[in-house]
């Protein structure tokens, strides 16, 4: 889910653990993973973690919101575009995509 933070007006992704935490060890393990992700720092290819808290037995995390959608959605779109190229590799649209992707051209054109 996403939420707008009142103090800065920005939207963030909010994640919740699927199940309630059953022990202090489980909580410690999840927080250790969260802290490791925070230690990475700024990287354009990695989602930034901001804060975490425990509420109603679950671990909640506030993270950078990826405005391009989920990884699953992005991979599905890439797959759909690839299928279009494979179906008609000589169309103008496919040629444009082949030039844009570069390394994809030999696979499609048999080169």
Q: Which residues are catalytic?
A: 107
Instruction: Give the DSSP per-residue string, 56-73.
Output: TTEEEEEEE--TT--HHH
Task: Give the whole-angstrom CA distance, residue 14 versus residue 81.
Answer: 30
| Six token digits for residue 52 | 């975490």
Instruction: Give the DSSP per-residue string, 32-48.
Output: HHHHHHHHT---TTSPP
CA-nearest of 80, 52, 49 to 66 is: 49
φ, ψ (nearest 5 deg) of residue 52: -145, 155
């Amino acid at each position: 889910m996403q939420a707008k933070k009142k103090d800065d007006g920005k939207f963030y992704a909010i994640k919740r653990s699927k199940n309630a935490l059953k022990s202090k060890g489980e909580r410690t393990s999840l927080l250790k993973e969260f802290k490791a992700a925070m230690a990475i720092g700024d990287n354009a290819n990695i989602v930034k973690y901001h804060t975490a808290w425990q509420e109603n037995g679950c671990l909640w995390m506030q993270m950078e919101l990826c405005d391009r959608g989920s990884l699953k959605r992005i991979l599905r779109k890439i797959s759909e575009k690839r299928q279009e190229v494979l179906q008609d590799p000589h169309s103008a649209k496919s040629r444009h995509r082949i030039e844009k992707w570069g390394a994809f051209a030999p696979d499609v054109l048999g080169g």
